[in-house]
Structure 1
Amino acid sequence: MSYIAGINAATQRTDLNEILSQIFHIAPPQFDPTTGTARFGYGLDGRLFTEILEFPRGIDPEKSRSDAFVKLLGLTAIVLGVSYFKLKAPLAIEIEGIPLTAAERDFVIDVYENGLGEFYARNNLIRFGRLVLEAPEAPGPAPGAVTLEDRTLLPIGGGKDSLVSVELLKAAGVDFTPFAVNPKGPILGCVEAIDKPALYVRRTLDAEMIRLSGQPGFYNGHVPSTAINSMIAALCALLFGYNRIVLSNERSASEGNVVFDGREANHQYSKSLEFETRIAAVLAGATGGALTYFSLLRPYSEARIAELFARETRYDHVFSSCNRNFRLSGHDGPLWCGECPKCHFVFLILAPVMQKDRLVSIFKRNLLAERQHEASFRELTGLAGQKPWECVGEILEAAACLHVLTGRPEWAGDAIVAALRDDLLAQYGEPVLLEAMRELMTDSPDHHVPAELAARIATHAL
């Protein structure tokens, strides 16, 4: 399809000359196995950008020359490109020298549409169904199966979820290697507590892209980081011999935030079950079925994960889910800011399953006693506004957890609990809140965890 034909079919409200002057270009990536360095080039608005990934040394050059690795390197280049695309968010994407199958084209469009759904919504950009992708068609049959060792690569984000996966895998007798991109602060602290050798990749974004983001004439906003890190993990799996990547995304990640441009925009889209299904199929197709990808925690709610996390104390003072402190200090500062919706949500779901003094010692303060944050808790529980643009659980989940606290003497008198108690009952009714809590502690059958592994971890999760 030509750009002009595709664009005319996609929109009648945008000036064609403006669209054609802004084509996002993705160049063929380069990889040097002797240094473990991958380079990715992009062009937009007359500017060239380069992103660099640095993998551990000791790579077998033959592995980097396999059809599967070349295929995944190209797909990684495309997914990493969202960080540069969003500077102008044009309607046309031109991919050079990276042949795509029909399924891979659909995957790319999904990443650039739904993966950037929050970005479009918050910048009021109409893009769904309008992006035009030009890329060479993949010739011949798909790559044959590659040989990968029966090993697990486990991304560690520094929060509670991946640590629950650690304990479940240990209990099931499954060996694994912790993995992270640009590890800092709580990621390093968690890996030290896990006490297993880790595999790290250094990612360097183009400095000019960072400078331009949010400047006049350029956009800024959320990108699908889980999709990006998953593609980087896939490259590591092929280079170092792992046949599975195990994520730690819970079922509530599939709940969106708002409906925008006729579609649900989800801050956590690349953590959702829908995206997991898509990327798993693409990774399997690129490797002849050798590489599998699934989330171990998909059957669980955030409340259920909190209950599992509370069973182990060794991570209490090394984990953090606070994205605000990560942005401000690279997570080399305090683990929790105590001011953001993510801090409030994690505190809220841990409160029903953890001793109060233990929880307060983790956060260094009682967030449910701070009346100034009432508006945040109202958003989390669906009493006001929309679900925050954060990796938080379902609205009814937060409401049910807070309702539980209204019946706990140690929590009932705290400012937030007391202030929201009657409004929760008025909006939802106690039967709904009680049933929601029961359902939150019931495992969902909607997941891709292999049956044999699911059975092995089930006994530990009881």
Structure 2
Amino acid sequence: MKIEVIKIDDLTIHEHHLDIIYSADRFKFSTKIFYHDLSFSTLIEKYNQSVIERIAAHIALFEGMKLCSLFPKYYDIAKIAKNLEKPVLDLFIQIYQGVFGQHWYENNVKDYQQPEIIYPQASLGESHPVAILENTSTILAGCGGGKDSILAMKMLEESGIPFASMQYSHSVYGKPDVQHNLIAGVLAHVNPVKSHKISIYDDFIDYSFLKLYFPENSGITVPETPVSIFESLFLMLDGGYSYLSLAHEKSANTGNLFWQELDREINHQWGKGFVAEQILDNFIRKNLLSNFKYFSILQPIYDFRIFRNFSKYPEVLPKIHSCNIKKPWCKKCPKCAYVWVGLMAFFPPDIVDAVFETNLFDDEDLFPIFREMLGLSQHTPFECIGEIDESRLMMKRCFEKGLSGQSLDMFAQEILSDTTIDWQKIEQKYNYVYEQEHAIPDWLFEQIKGLL
């Protein structure tokens, strides 16, 4: 089966949520985005109807990108075209090609660049950026419940910089109350001036549609970070926040492999990387919100240093969660294995054991995943993890701490035995603060750099 056209059929702005209806030929899907502490009627009074409709249209456009997992020929955006501008269509292609490289690779698709975006001629609108009113010094900080976001908020708090937290749940990760409660356990260790919640319900991702109708397809790809940036804009308008800070590390800039047949790098984390960050920041400021600034507060450092810095807060470790399979931890996926290594490398083992209650180094199912992490397979796992040398460095720390397990034995035999490896040089790279390679505002960087 082939899908010819994906389409935005309807977009409705309700009092507390957006309701978007999509179609893929004869199939229908729904995405609902709930804002727990936001009134759209109040927001419309504060700004105007057209500003809110324009931002909602941008959200609908990028939420629809997940349907590109079906390799459609066309993407029909006629329903929202009047609230979009030509630059966002160029941005859509940039984001699609950056995020979907992995999807092409997994499906061995070499002759598909993107869907053709269709709409009535002369129906696009124009860019009319507006200013965020009641501009405050408070930073809107994303919180996904992992080590990165809590470390970022700890840095802001210890620097005396006010921040509000933004968390969201997604139906693909389970019940929203469970997700929000897990994140609340992390937020209990900091003091945001306000806490915002977004809940997303998506039946295209939730249901068994892909498995039943497209069993040969590797899965659904979602531009999660880019679309969440657009979804945060309503909170920024409502709260008077000009600064949006996420916690993406320098490690996200490196791909999983170089695909020779397409002459391009494949990077699972592209949407989190510095290039995507700059593209999105520039676009939103030029086309939507004139005094907007988006950056990652952890962009100057690698994951290795993030784990090291996070070890200052052992009381938070039992509350964090990073697994995308079964929250808080499935203990069987690359993300769980990677976080396990990082935590074991820097925390007392008994604290980590109390959370995971098993030695992942001895799990035979994880053995091939550890090999991939260490650069002993075709590519690193398609997950949000660090570079090969970064994993090796943390594994070395685990070995030197006297930890044991099948995967550590393999590491000693195949990596540690290589006397040509310059471990000192590797550690210098990953334990360094890169003061120039980030987009953190100068005033903020001066206040937080001592904590990096």
TM (norm. structure 1) is 0.85
Distance 1:262 1:157 in 2: 33
CA contact (8 A) 1:28 1:74 kept: no
**Does 2:161 correspond to 1:174?**
yes
Distance 1:128 1:289 in 2: 35
Give the alignment partner of residue 114 of structure 1, picking from 93, 98, 102: 98
Matches within 5 A, 1:350-389: 350-370=343-363, 373-389=366-382
Deviations 1:315-364 (A, max 9, x none): 12111112221xxxxx3xxx322222111111212233222222222322
Q: Give 1:216's aligned amino acid.
A: Y
Instruction: Specify the alignment match of 1:82 in structure 2.
Output: 65
Q: Secondary structure at the match of 2:198?
A: strand
Q: Secondary structure at the match of 1:430?
A: coil
Give the alignment partner of residue 410 of structure 1, picking from 402, 406, 412: 402
Deviations 1:31-65 (A, max 9, x none): 13xx2221222222123333222223444132463
The change in CA–CA distance for 1:428 and 1:126 in structure 2 (over 3 A counts) is farther
Q: Give 1:323's aligned amino acid.
A: N
Instruction: Specify the alignment match of 2:7 in structure 1.
Output: 25
Distance 1:145 1:222 in 2: 33
Instruction: Specify the alignment match of 2:429 in structure 1.
Output: 439
Deviations 1:11-48 (A, max 9, x none): xxxxxxx98x712222463213xx22212222221233
Deviation at 1:296, TM superposition (A): 0.6
CA contact (8 A) 1:101 1:137 kept: no
Give the alignment partner of residue 62 of structure 1, picking from 35, 41, 45: 45
The change in CA–CA distance for 1:264 and 1:207 in structure 2 (over 3 A counts) is closer
Q: Secondary structure at the match of 1:365?
A: coil
Distance 1:51 1:111 in 2: 20
Deviation at 1:158, TM superposition (A): 1.2
Deviation at 1:137, TM superposition (A): 6.3
**Does 2:36 correspond to 1:36?**
no
Distance 1:428 1:153 in 2: 47
Q: Give 2:45's aligned amino acid.
A: E
Q: Give 2:402's aligned amino acid.
A: E
Instruction: Specify the alignment match of 1:245 in structure 2.
Output: 244
The change in CA–CA distance for 1:31 and 1:50 in structure 2 (over 3 A counts) is same
Deviations 1:103-149 (A, max 9, x none): 32221112322222222222223355353223456445533434253
Q: Give 2:358's aligned amino acid.
A: R
Distance 1:117 1:22 in 2: 21
TM (norm. structure 2) is 0.87
The change in CA–CA distance for 1:409 and 1:29 in structure 2 (over 3 A counts) is closer
Distance 2:5 2:405 in 1: 54
Instruction: Specify the alignment match of 1:3 in structure 2.
Output: none
Matches within 5 A, 1:310-321: 310-321=311-322
Q: Secondary structure at the match of 1:98?
A: helix
Distance 2:205 2:142 in 1: 28
Q: Secondary structure at the match of 1:42?
A: strand
Give the alignment partner of residue 145 of structure 1, picking from 131, 149, 159: 131
Distance 1:149 1:428 in 2: 56
Deviation at 1:409, TM superposition (A): 4.4
Deviating more after overlay: 229-238 vs 248-257: 229-238
Instruction: Specify the alignment match of 2:173 in structure 1.
Output: none
The change in CA–CA distance for 1:144 and 1:233 in structure 2 (over 3 A counts) is closer
Matches within 5 A, 1:271-310: 271-310=272-311
CA contact (8 A) 1:368 1:415 kept: yes
Distance 1:296 1:208 in 2: 30
Q: Secondary structure at the match of 1:74?
A: helix
The change in CA–CA distance for 1:53 and 1:371 in structure 2 (over 3 A counts) is closer
CA contact (8 A) 1:148 1:290 kept: no
The change in CA–CA distance for 1:380 and 1:202 in structure 2 (over 3 A counts) is same
Q: Give 2:149's aligned amino acid.
A: S
Q: Secondary structure at the match of 2:332?
A: coil
Instruction: Specify the alignment match of 1:14 in structure 2.
Output: none
Q: Give 1:181's aligned amino acid.
A: Y
Deviating more after overlay: 101-110 vs 391-400: 101-110
Give the alignment partner of residue 33 of structure 2, picking from 47, 53, 60: 53
Q: Give 1:210's aligned amino acid.
A: Y
Distance 2:405 2:127 in 1: 63
Q: Secondary structure at the match of 1:193?
A: coil
Q: Secondary structure at the match of 1:48?
A: strand
Distance 2:368 2:214 in 1: 33
CA contact (8 A) 2:140 2:241 kept: yes
Distance 1:137 1:303 in 2: 49
Distance 2:449 2:4 in 1: 52
Unmatched segments (≥5 aa) in structure 2: 170-175
**How many residues end up aligned between the 2 structures?**
429
**Does 2:204 correspond to 1:210?**
no
CA contact (8 A) 2:18 2:32 kept: yes
Distance 1:237 1:127 in 2: 40
Deviation at 1:456, TM superposition (A): 0.5
Q: Secondary structure at the match of 2:337?
A: helix
Q: Give 2:196's aligned amino acid.
A: L
Q: Give 1:39's aligned amino acid.
A: D
CA contact (8 A) 1:379 1:385 kept: yes
Instruction: Specify the alignment match of 1:400 in structure 2.
Output: 393
Distance 2:123 2:254 in 1: 34
Q: Give 1:54's aligned amino acid.
A: F
Deviation at 1:166, TM superposition (A): 1.0
Q: Secondary structure at the match of 2:444?
A: helix
Q: Secondary structure at the match of 1:384?
A: coil
Distance 2:51 2:295 in 1: 19
Instruction: Specify the alignment match of 1:457 in structure 2.
Output: 448
Q: Secondary structure at the match of 1:93?
A: strand
Deviation at 1:207, TM superposition (A): 6.1
CA contact (8 A) 2:127 2:288 kept: no
Q: Give 1:91's aligned amino acid.
A: K
